[in-house]
Structure 1
Amino acid sequence: MNRTLIVYFSYQGHTRQVAEQLQKATGGTLFEIKAAEAYPSDYESCVARAKKEVREGRWPELAEHCKDIASYDTILLGTPNWFNTLAPPVAAFLASNDFSGKTIAAFCTHGGGGLGRITGDVRKLGTGATVLSSLEVYGRDAADAGRRIDAWLSANDLNRR
Structure 2
Amino acid sequence: MSKILVAFYSFSNTTRMLAEEIAKQTGGDIRELVPEKSYAFNYNTAAKEVRNEIENGYCPKLLSGEEPVKSYDYIFLGTPNWFKSFAPPILSFLRNVDLQGKTIIPFCTHGGGGFGQIQINIAKECQKSTILPGFEAMSNFSEQQVKNWIEQIGL
* TM-score computed with the length of structure 1 as normaliser: 0.91
The residue that corresponds to 2:22 in the other structure is 22
| Aligned-pair CA distance for 1:47 | 0.9
The residue that corresponds to 1:121 in the other structure is 121
Gaps of 5+ in 2: none
| Aligned-pair CA distance for 1:2 | 5.5
Quick one: which amino acid aligns to residue 83 of structure 1? Answer: F
Q: 3-state DSSP class of the match of 1:141?
A: coil
Q: Which stretch of the first structure deviates more once superposed, 40-49 or 100-109?
A: 40-49
**Mapping for residues 1-161 of structure 1, pairs under 5 Å:** 3-138=3-138, 140-142=139-141, 145-158=142-155
Are the equivalent residues in 1 in contact too, given 2:68–2:98 (CA < 8 A)? no
Q: 3-state DSSP class of the match of 1:70?
A: coil
Q: 3-state DSSP class of the match of 1:68?
A: coil
Q: Number of aligned pairs?
A: 155
Q: 3-state DSSP class of the match of 2:63?
A: coil
Could you list the per-position Cα deviations for residues 91-116 of structure 1 after superposition, in whole angstroms to 9, with x for gaps in the alignment? 11111112111101000000111001
Q: 3-state DSSP class of the match of 1:51?
A: helix
Are the equivalent residues in 1 in contact too, given 2:73–2:103 (CA < 8 A)? yes
Quick one: which amino acid aligns to residue 17 of structure 1? Answer: M
Are the equivalent residues in 2 in contact too, given 1:34–1:63 (CA < 8 A)? yes
Between Structure 1 and Structure 2, which shows a larger proportion of helix residues?
A: 1
- In 2: Cα distance, 1:127 partner to 1:34 partner: 24
Q: 3-state DSSP class of the match of 2:122?
A: helix
Are the equivalent residues in 2 in contact too, given 1:107–1:136 (CA < 8 A)? yes
Are the equivalent residues in 2 in contact too, given 1:108–1:137 (CA < 8 A)? yes
Q: 3-state DSSP class of the match of 1:63?
A: strand
Q: Which stretch of the first structure deviates more once superposed, 54-63 or 19-28?
A: 54-63
| Aligned-pair CA distance for 1:152 | 0.8
- In 1: Cα distance, 2:137 partner to 2:76 partner: 14
Identity, in percent, stands at: 35
Are the equivalent residues in 2 in contact too, given 1:31–1:66 (CA < 8 A)? no
Gaps of 5+ in 1: none
* TM-score computed with the length of structure 2 as normaliser: 0.95
Superposed CA RMSD in Å reads: 1.3
| Aligned-pair CA distance for 1:117 | 0.6
| Displaced runs of 4 or more, over 4 A | none
